[in-house]
Structure 1
Amino acid sequence: MNAFYQLSKALRSQKRVVLVTIIKEYGDTKGLVGKKILCDFSGEVYYSDLSPKLTHELTLFVHKLSVDKKITGTFQMAVDEGEFEIYLEKYIPAPKAVIFGAGHVSQPTCHLLKMIGFHVTVIDDRASFANSQRFPDADEIIVDSFENAINQINIDENTWVILVTRGHKYDFLCLEKLMERDMAYLGMMGSKSRAAITRRQLAEAGFSRENIARLNCPMGLDIGGQSPEELAVSIVSQIIAIKSGRSMGDAMSREVIEAIVRGYEGIPKALVTIVKRTGSAPRDVGTKMLVLADGSIIGTIGGGCVEAEIRQKALEVIDTGQPTTYTVTLTINEAEDEGLICGGKVEVFIEKVQNSG
């Protein structure tokens, strides 16, 4: 089974993995461009079409980079087997949101979080509030006391916790159980005066300043919202703002990977991945686009003349079967036509791919 099938399987199993692709080779080394390994941060290998020795060298390289927290991007690597340029992509499972409280603000918050790719759990001790009729978008609904529910769920550094219970008593009960847990975000609804009282109570309960500083309260961006829907926009906007500074994966790229694994069986296709960008290029490193033999595409790397040029190159790769890197430079005039501020450069890796066979 190919690397993309194993990647899809790993993500569905909530594994954190790194996909390594050789995109250039130098010297006497031949035939390794496009070869891949898929491993986790500890070095366990889920897929490799390279020699055991080179696989081992690459997993060691990944582990060193993970310690330095420098994963996604292109890197030069020289080992006994040769000198290569490799492209590394870190994949982390879809972020998890846990909403404590199933009131009116929770409903639009759940909906918006699902729209931006979160796995959402809603918790409340009232079955008349926490149910699939009121939360059709929720992945999981737990009807239990907040205290019991906290013991049932897995909270980790990929979890975003939102406290919108029906009263401060319940918010604080949750905070006492959650404050020292490692998570991506902890937010609580409340006024500035309520926030001050809560922080004082947490200090009196013995929590450190560092832990208390992690609490986002009042939760959300100050956009003047009043209605439940406006408050939900405020909350989710803050989460997006914080999340944008983290490497949490690209939902569109995951859709493309699923299309490789499960769709378009028997149709020749090429995968385009942005591996480098400078200036005002339209999309970030890691963005993917799947090009089918008839010229249709799944996903986008920015549209316009850049995408059209790269799509044509991808059709050539479908014909030849030879993976390649390709660079497009966007002049200032072209950038203006694309609605960008200035010119830029994007380098992509293009490879012919097959379904999961």
Structure 2
Amino acid sequence: MYNKIYQILDEKGRAKTGIFLDGPYMGKKCILKPETVIREENCGEAAEKKSGVQLIPEKTEDASIWDNYLNILSETKETKVTEADGHRLFVEDYRKNPRLVIFGGGHVSQPTAHLGKMLGFHVTIMDDREYFVTKERFPEADQLVYGDFKELDKYITPYDNTYYVILTRGHIGDADCLRRLLHRPYEYLGMIGSKNKVRITRENLLKEGYTLEQLDEVHAPIGIPLGGQLPEEIAVSIMAEIIKVKNQHYSAYCDEKVETAVLEGCHGVMVTIAEKSGSSPRGVGSKMFVEPSGHITGSIGGGKVEYEAINHCKEVKEKEVKHYALTADGQDSLGMICGGQVTVVFERV
């Protein structure tokens, strides 16, 4: 199932999974793949965007079970254990390879692109002036696109984990981009401009058939108000807002070394921290992959918990859930004095 998770992450940049930690469905798992559909019969300026998910159960016969928990899975916005009919359901929200797409190659775009690369984004710059999208102006950009903003769909592939920044040279270009981006999935959509320009743009798009709900999702004027005037200062305010949006929910850490081991066909046991309290070393969603040879990729924090988990992998048949107490005595105690508890999920891959 992890092959499918990593495949979806490469395609969409986002994925979500759910696995029951107890109760009659203990060990049952599913994937939620984000899906966005645009109604083709109304593909004019105000075409309708419908966002949803495709539910992929680990076992086909479990599909009807997961239908009952689709709302809970969809409404859980971060990696955590939540309650479902009195039982514990571990939801992992994965994010990978965030993309920053900047429309307009002007003076604010240059420091914004630089900060984006520094913060780990794949950066694309698009402008309708060829001499504004060059390696000299944007040496760190991953993709440079020259083309008409009205035809951006030809050049920019839809991708769920994308952060769009509209910084064109005028309100016409801004509106052209906004019309097309409102039809897409995105994590963030921001448009530069004065309050008056933003108001006029909103009024025009409302007349064209866009809804208040759609337009209220747009960050405009763009950025966290820091009082800056210089291009570099405006870029900081834009990226600060993007980072705030990006980190508003806690996502599972996608360890690329663990991913590589799975995609290369290695077999073993995936070990994941589902819950923690007190002084446990690593966060929820941390993963470790233990192969039969004893080779280990990733980590759930080292120390006694990791040692015990590695030893337990030899006994795992399919899926198991274990609780480790970081105390000196009591049930599941590891003979430690730091306090806290860790819930660990074991899955044979």
TM-score by length of 1: 0.67
Per-residue CA deviation, residues 233-279 of structure 1 (Å, 9 max, x unaligned), is 322111111222246x44x325254233246x76x865332212346
Structure 1 partner of 2:188: 185
Equivalent-residue separation in structure 1 for 2:137 and 2:289 (angstroms): 37
Q: 1:346 to 1:145 in 2, by over 3 A?
A: same
Amino acid at match of 2:17: L
Q: 1:330 to 1:134 in 2, by over 3 A?
A: farther
What are the within-5 Å matches in structure 2 for residues 133-144 of structure 1?
Answer: 134-135=137-138, 137-144=140-147
Equivalent-residue separation in structure 1 for 2:80 and 2:132 (angstroms): 45
**Aligned pair partner of 1:220 in 215, 220, 223:** 223
Q: 1:313 to 1:231 in 2, by over 3 A?
A: farther
User: Is 1:13 paired with 2:32?
Assistant: no
Deviation at 1:280, TM superposition (A): 7.4
User: Is 1:346 paired with 2:342?
Assistant: yes
Equivalent-residue separation in structure 2 for 1:346 and 1:168 (angstroms): 53
- Contact in 2 for aligned 1:180/1:211 (Cα 8 Å): no
What are the within-5 Å matches in structure 2 for residues 65-80 of structure 1?
Answer: 65-66=72-73, 68-69=75-76, 72-74=79-81
Deviation at 1:204, TM superposition (A): 4.5
What are the within-5 Å matches in structure 2 for residues 1-357 of structure 1?
Answer: 3-14=1-12, 17-24=15-22, 33=27, 36-38=29-31, 40=33, 41-45=53-57, 48=58, 50=59, 52-53=60-61, 55-66=62-73, 68-69=75-76, 72-74=79-81, 86-91=89-94, 94-132=97-135, 134-135=137-138, 137-150=140-153, 152-153=155-156, 158-175=161-178, 178=181, 183-190=186-193, 195-205=194-204, 207=206, 212-223=215-226, 225=228, 228-246=231-249, 249-250=251-252, 252-262=253-263, 270-278=269-277, 284-290=283-289, 298=298, 301=300, 303=301, 307-321=302-316, 323-329=320-326, 345-351=341-347, 353=349
- Contact in 2 for aligned 1:18/1:38 (Cα 8 Å): yes
What is the DSSP-based 3-state SS (H/G/I as helix, E as strand, rest coil) of the residue aligned with 2:131? coil
- Contact in 2 for aligned 1:199/1:212 (Cα 8 Å): no
TM-score by length of 2: 0.69
Deviation at 1:143, TM superposition (A): 0.7
Long gaps (5+) in structure 2: 34-52, 329-337
Long gaps (5+) in structure 1: 332-341
The percentage of aligned residue pairs carrying the same residue is 32
Q: How many residues get paired?
A: 314
Amino acid at match of 1:261: V
Amino acid at match of 1:65: I
Amino acid at match of 2:11: S
Root-mean-square deviation (CA, aligned residues, Å) is: 4.2
Deviation at 1:102, TM superposition (A): 1.9
Q: 1:346 to 1:105 in 2, by over 3 A?
A: farther
Equivalent-residue separation in structure 1 for 2:78 and 2:130 (angstroms): 44
